[in-house]
Structure 1
């Protein structure tokens, strides 16, 4: 089994506070950095949809939101009566 190697990293106070705010209970700073470093950026998604696919997705989302609003309105009407 290999021994864990450690490195010192200097952070500004602001960077430290931001990192600390992302730290989960029971998570070390190393765990936090590894988790964050593994996250994908929204920029990684740029260009994966054609304009047509993006428009279809927007329309589907709007339709779904409309159905959700309708369901909430019906539920509110039932609760009011």
Structure 2
């Protein structure tokens, strides 16, 4: 199998060297580091522990209640304003 030479900044080299085990080559080190990282962010996307999931669910429910309540109030106020406008039109006619 062939090899490739890559360039890295001095500080990156020092960081890699510090993580390199005594019995491994830089190729082994890079392979190990790549294996330790999740390559597909979607694998972990959307996962919460049960406590966080319950807390989020409660926050969403509370937010929906507040939004619904506010919407109902605004609708009632708009209907009242419209109905008052109709009465004013009837009185002037």
5+ residue gaps in structure 1? 57-81
Given the alignment of the two structures, is residue 25 of structure 1 paired with residue 12 of structure 2, yes or no? no
TM-score between both structures, scaled by the size of structure 1: 0.51
Moved over 3 A (4+): none
5+ residue gaps in structure 2? 54-93
| Aligned partner (choices 3, 7, 24) of residue 4 of structure 2 | 7
Q: Give per-residue Cα distances to partners, 1:12-54, cap 9 Å, x unaligned.
A: 000000110110111000000000011125xx5453125xx14
Change over 3 Å in CA distance of 1:54–1:19 after alignment to 2: farther
Higher relative contact order (CA 8 A, sep 6+): 1
SS at match of 1:48: coil
Change over 3 Å in CA distance of 1:54–1:8 after alignment to 2: farther
Aligned residue-pair number: 50
SS at match of 1:38: helix
